[in-house]
Amino acid sequence: MREIQHCYFGEVRPNIFSFIYMKKKYNPIRCFNLFFCYLFLVFFSEAIPTTAQEIPPMNPVKNSCGNFTVTCFYFPNYHIDPRNEKVHGKGWTEWELVKNAKPRFDGHKQPKVPLWGYIDEADPKVMAMKIDTAHKYGIDVFLFDWYWYNDGPFLQRCLEEGYLKAPNHSKVRFAIMWAIHTWLNIHPCALKDAPSPPVLYPGEVTFETFEKITDHVVEKYFSNHAYWTIKGKPFFSIYEIHTFVDGIGGVDIAKKALDSFQAKARKRGFPGVHVNVVNIESRMPKCVQGKMTPAELIEYLGIDSVTSYAWVLDTPLESFPTVNYSDVAKKVYRVWEERVNIFGVPYYPNVSMGWDSSPRCKQDDPFEPRGYPFTPVIANNTPQEFRKALERCKSFLENHPESEYILTLNAWNEWTEGSYLEPDTEYKYAYLEAIKDVFGN
């Protein structure tokens, strides 16, 4: 800021008084205003902050109650993307799978119908509506599933054209969950291809690609006033730590890459990056298996916290075609207690709204347990049962302040995995009401 002032006004100072007398070009009022601005900058420019450290942080947006921070994963595949059009046809979005879903067994509730219709999340007006809704019902942060492969970015229009251009986006902060995983051709998936569908975009990235990723994240997102920070550090989550470490060339190169990321953030005036990992307990890199525990890997890489993306990653679904929501919940509660103090860093529990990945299955194929997406459905996940899980999570966080009163929710809009908080025509806003009742401010 200071450098800009000196550069620009260096040209103005020698001529400032001559401007006043150039009556043909400048009228007196305009000249007076310019002279006043000049004097203001001369006498007060030293008070203008010049680095990120000097700029006071934005007051945290608190949509939840007390010390809690309610974060919610957001899956951005409900807008047009050129990669999707190349594979699935012009104008394709994942809404097509939502529309085409069918009941696969007795009592199966499909298709799900969105109350808001099949809207375009890359439209700032649409995203503004979503932001207002999340704000109203107690959600503090959107954790955007975010994709970038060796050949470039994917599914970024929702965040960059929708959320960031929405005039109210600071009502709900945002952060990145780097969804580093191999993108498979599962939209939809044939039974014969499960559980190993064709690969479209390999998840592994090079050191050079990670440098491009972190340059973009630091410059484009961390600088935004609405980016979520923990103790001043911008939050950045890594979905598959094993894909990152093994793909980049091993644990030492991974550490070098993360150290470079930290340095970039510090150069911009932040105290560093808060690096979070998802479900590390089941995703240890091959290169360290038998050599490091999850806690040792976390310490070596400088990881700050651990969370989960969804309940199905915490505990297996043991019956087909359905398993009861309350039965899964009881197992997950035990997982929370087991994991809260084993990593050496804070553990953020996850509450999932449900699970039903059948819309991603080819609808004319038999529905059999062959692996993702031909998996069991979590049934009886009513708003009442969801509220019980939220209440249990609130109690857990109150009893474990080392978890920093932070939880993750799955998810805002995982429609084709049966875990969404956006209103449908059956329950409308009931799931969001449950969040507001338990965590609302």
Are 159 and 202 found together in one domain? yes
Q: Would residue 52 count as lying in a domain? A: no
Q: With left for phi above 0 and alpha for psi between -120 and 50, is residue 138 left, alpha or beta?
A: left
Q: Would residue 295 count as lying in a domain? A: yes
Are 119 and 257 found together in one domain? yes
- Residue 259 lies in domain: 69-439
pLDDT for position 159: 98
Are 17 and 91 found together in one domain? no
pLDDT for position 27: 53
Are 174 and 228 found together in one domain? yes
pLDDT category at 34 given cuts 50, 70, 90 is very low
Are 89 and 139 found together in one domain? yes
pLDDT over 80 (residue 118):
yes
Q: Would residue 53 count as lying in a domain? A: no
- CA 231 from chain center: how many Å? 18
- CA 269 from chain center: how many Å? 23
> Within 10 A of 325 (CB to CB), how many other CB atoms are there?
21
Are 148 and 196 found together in one domain? yes
Across the chain, mean pLDDT equals: 90
CATH number at residue 203: 3.20.20.80
Which DSSP string do the residues of 101-146 spell out, in sequence order?
Answer: ----STT------BTT-S--TTSHHHHHHHHHHHHHTT--EEEEEE
pLDDT over 60 (residue 397):
yes
> Per-residue pLDDT averaged across 164-170, rounded?
97
Q: Would you report the helix, strand and coil content of the chain in percent, each value rounded to 5?
A: 45, 15, 40
> Within 10 A of 292 (CB to CB), how many other CB atoms are there?
17
Contact 420, 414 (CB under 8 A): yes
pLDDT over 90 (residue 36):
no
pLDDT over 80 (residue 45):
no
> Per-residue pLDDT averaged across 312-340, rounded?
98
Q: How far is CA 281 from CA 29, 230, 254, in A?
A: 68, 23, 18
Question: How far is it, in rounded angstroms, from Cα 184 to Cα 193?
Answer: 11
Are 132 and 174 found together in one domain? yes
Give tens-digit pLDDT for 216-238: 999 999 999 999 999 999 999 99
pLDDT for position 307: 98
Q: Would residue 30 count as lying in a domain? A: yes
pLDDT for position 59: 55
pLDDT over 60 (residue 210):
yes
Q: What percent of the chain has pLDDT over 70?
A: 86
Are 237 and 153 found together in one domain? yes
Are 87 and 37 found together in one domain? no
Question: How far is it, in rounded angstroms, from Cα 390 to Cα 415?
Answer: 20
> Per-residue pLDDT averaged across 162-179, rounded?
98
Contact 81, 157 (CB under 8 A): yes
Question: How far is it, in rounded angstroms, from Cα 194 to Cα 395?
Answer: 39
pLDDT over 70 (residue 155):
yes
Number of domains in the chain: 2
Is residue 438 classed as helix, strand or coil in its secondary structure? Answer: helix
Is residue 324 classed as helix, strand or coil in its secondary structure? Answer: strand
Q: Would residue 57 count as lying in a domain? A: no
Q: Of 149, 164, 9, nearest to 83 (Cα)?
A: 149
Q: What is the pTM of this model?
A: 0.87
pLDDT category at 55 given cuts 50, 70, 90 is very low
Q: Which two tokens stand for residue 44?
A: 């007060």
pLDDT for position 441: 83
Q: Would residue 427 count as lying in a domain? A: yes
pLDDT for position 308: 98
Question: How far is it, in rounded angstroms, from Cα 184 to Cα 45?
Answer: 54
Q: Would residue 162 count as lying in a domain? A: yes
pLDDT over 70 (residue 435):
yes
C-alpha dihedral sign at 343, 344, 345, 347: positive
* Residue scoring higher pLDDT (14 or 33): 33
Question: How far is it, in rounded angstroms, from Cα 310 to Cα 72?
Answer: 11
pLDDT over 60 (residue 433):
yes
439 CB-contact burial (10 Å; exposed 0-12 / middle 13-18 / buried 19+): buried
> Per-residue pLDDT averaged across 179-205, rounded?
97
pLDDT for position 33: 52
Which DSSP string do the residues of 330-372 spell out, in sequence order?
Answer: HHHHHHHHHHTTTSSS-EE-EEE--B--GGGB-TTS----SBT
Give tens-digit pLDDT for 57-95: 445 678 999 999 999 999 999 999 999 999 999 999 999
pLDDT over 90 (residue 15):
no
> Within 10 A of 142 (CB to CB), how many other CB atoms are there?
25
Are 14 and 101 found together in one domain? no
Give tens-digit pLDDT for 255-294: 999 999 999 999 999 999 999 999 999 999 999 999 999 9
Are 35 and 98 found together in one domain? no
> Per-residue pLDDT averaged across 153-174, rounded?
98
Q: Would residue 280 count as lying in a domain? A: yes
Are 43 and 77 found together in one domain? no
pLDDT for position 61: 74
Beta bridge partners of 147: 154
Q: Of 365, 364, 359, nearest to 192 (Cα)?
A: 365
63 CB-contact burial (10 Å; exposed 0-12 / middle 13-18 / buried 19+): buried
